[in-house]
């Protein structure tokens, strides 16, 4: 199965191309300048691999949460390629992909995924060992989040910076992917 995976919810943006063998993975510049050339970098990756967009079986994209502009650039690229080439598009929430890095979670454990949301705020969500969401996405002031976190029992914390590009992990999570894409943004502090 030929698949393209794309993550623009974390820095750096990452792209993975799977052609039955180990995936080829690229990470773009750690700032938004990488996003400017995203489609041309993907095209170059395909040219080097000798494949065309319409030979793909599916595209998997991280749907967030993530920075507004970065997330939208990645999602727009994935949607554009999907429509232009007639390829199915699937998505996996970024926090589910990050939670999947916690291999030590047992049945009763909570997996906590958190990221800075905006200055002085933390976005977070909890999952069980099967990667099912136990809470909705929350956003709290950093001090409140720290207090909440210290009060939890059986907590396994997912890495803020994953040990491998998130796009590569998306390929491994394709059975959890949902058809289509709906961007996920942290709730505004007023709504939290």
pLDDT digits (tens, 9 = 90+) for 140-177: 999 999 999 999 988 999 998 899 999 999 999 988 99
Q: Measured between alpha carbons, how far is 64 from 183 in angstroms, rounded to an integer?
A: 6
pLDDT digits (tens, 9 = 90+) for 63-102: 999 888 888 989 999 999 999 999 999 999 999 999 999 9
Band (pLDDT 50/70/90 cuts) for residue 189 is low
In the chain, CATH 3.30.420.40 sits at 2-94+162-191
Q: Hey, what CATH class is 2-94+162-191 in?
A: alpha beta
- Using a cut of 0.85, tell me whether the model's pTM lies above it: yes
Distant-in-sequence, close-in-space partners of 120: CB < 8 Å, separation ≥ 6: 141, 142
Q: What is residue 28's predicted lDDT score, i.e. its pLDDT?
A: 79
Band (pLDDT 50/70/90 cuts) for residue 186 is confident
Band (pLDDT 50/70/90 cuts) for residue 187 is confident
Element (H, E) at 47: helix 38-49
Q: Hey, what CATH class is 95-157 in?
A: alpha beta
3-state helix, strand, coil in the chain (%, to 5): 35, 25, 40
């Amino acid at each position: 199965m030929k698949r393209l995976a794309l993550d623009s919810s974390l820095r750096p943006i990452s792209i993975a191309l799977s052609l039955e063998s180990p995936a080829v993975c690229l990470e773009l510049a750690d700032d938004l300048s990488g996003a400017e050339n995203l489609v041309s970098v993907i095209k170059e990756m395909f040219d080097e691999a000798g494949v065309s967009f319409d030979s793909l079986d599916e595209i998997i994209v991280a749907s967030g949460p993530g920075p507004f502009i970065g997330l939208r650039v990645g999602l727009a690229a994935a949607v554009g390629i999907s429509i232009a080439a007639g390829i199915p598009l699937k998505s996996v929430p970024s926090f589910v992909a990050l939670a999947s890095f916690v291999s030590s979670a047992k049945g009763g454990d909570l997996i906590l995924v958190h990221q800075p949301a905006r200055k002085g705020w933390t976005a977070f969500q909890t999952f069980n060992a099967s990667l099912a969401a136990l809470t909705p996405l929350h956003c709290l002031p950093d001090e409140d989040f720290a207090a909440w976190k210290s009060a939890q029992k059986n907590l396994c914390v997912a890495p803020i910076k994953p040990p491998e590009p998130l796009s590569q992990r998306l390929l491994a999570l394709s059975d959890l992917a949902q058809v289509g894409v709906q961007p996920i943004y942290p709730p505004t502090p007023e709504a939290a």
